[in-house]
Amino acid sequence: MTNSARIALGPVAEESLRRAITGAGAEITALSEAQALVWDGGPNGFPELPASVEWVQLYSAGVEDFFTAGIFDRNPNVVFTSAAGAFAKSVAEGTLALLLAGVRYLPEHIRAHTWRQTDFFPRIDTLRGRTVAVVGAGGIGREVIAMLEPFGARVIAVNRSGTPITAPHVVETLPAHRISEAWARADHVVVAAPATDDTRHLIGKDELAQLRPHSWVINVARGSLIDTEALVAALRDGSIGGAGLDVTEPEPLPDGHPLWDLPNVIITPHDSNPPHLRTAAFAEHVADNVARFLRGQELNARIDPTAGY
């Protein structure tokens, strides 16, 4: 690449993104003249790209809606990058909060209106010495793994390739095709994998049956990765300890759904990455990728159309 680049911004020219682009050394221009596009919207309204566009930066970490809309198929010669990794620290904090709340039995403590100390004792546990399976050891998963180390937890990491995650408390890294080995060995499960056809209902009746009565399942990825009916059944019969869900299927979770009334469930409304934190983190991600584009370097979070993320 040259030392300058023309980058379009849409659908709204948010000021922090303008500063990120120009601060990295690029010029903001009309799409018709652009070499790249920073798109902070969804697939609806995504523009027809001129032949001059080489790269598109998308706003979200999960891009399944763009696949469904055929955006990548219509632009086979364009490099697309997602925001994967940009929001990792915020989401990982939310993940750890859900896991700790479950392990320390906070849902029942919060609901209590009388002193029931002895009733709670048998259910209160610790992460120290426990094994947490982190399913999807990408940006968010790696941040979760790092945050678990001070708590003394062991980690079984699962990623697409099985490339080892190097950390003293990671006891093994499994490739995705060997994920079945993780369930019976895990005390708790964190789901941070992308939503693809291959990961739909990754955790269902058979997988939940291999977990333990104290196991908590935390999902901060997409609701489609867990079979909701199977999860409700496992929560009701006590075959797992509980679930912390920042995402659900369906989403939004409708009023009256059984998950709302289960005492061993924590539901947060997909807010582990709240908007006021998301904007600043995305601007940093954009600035880094613009600088890489100017230098002709590999871009962060490049989307693989064959893999689905």
Catalytic annotation, residues: 222, 251, 270
Residue with tokens 């409700």: 232
Which 3 state secondary structure label does DSSP give 65?
helix
Which 3 state secondary structure label does DSSP give 57?
strand
Q: Contact, 265 vs 243, CB < 8 A?
A: yes
Cis before 250 (ω within 30): yes
CA dist 139 → 142, 145, 240 (Å): 5, 10, 27
Task: Please list, in sequence order, all residues whose beta carbon lies within 8 angstroms of the beta carbon of residue 284, skipping any fewer than 6 positions away.
Answer: 20, 86
Q: How far apart are CA 84 and CA 81, in angstroms?
A: 8
Q: How far apart are CA 234 and CA 238, in angstroms?
A: 6
CA dist 97 → 106, 133, 253 (Å): 11, 16, 20
Residue with tokens 């890489």: 292
Half-sphere CA count of 245, side-chain side, radius 13 A: 25
Q: How far apart are CA 253 and CA 263, in angstroms?
A: 16
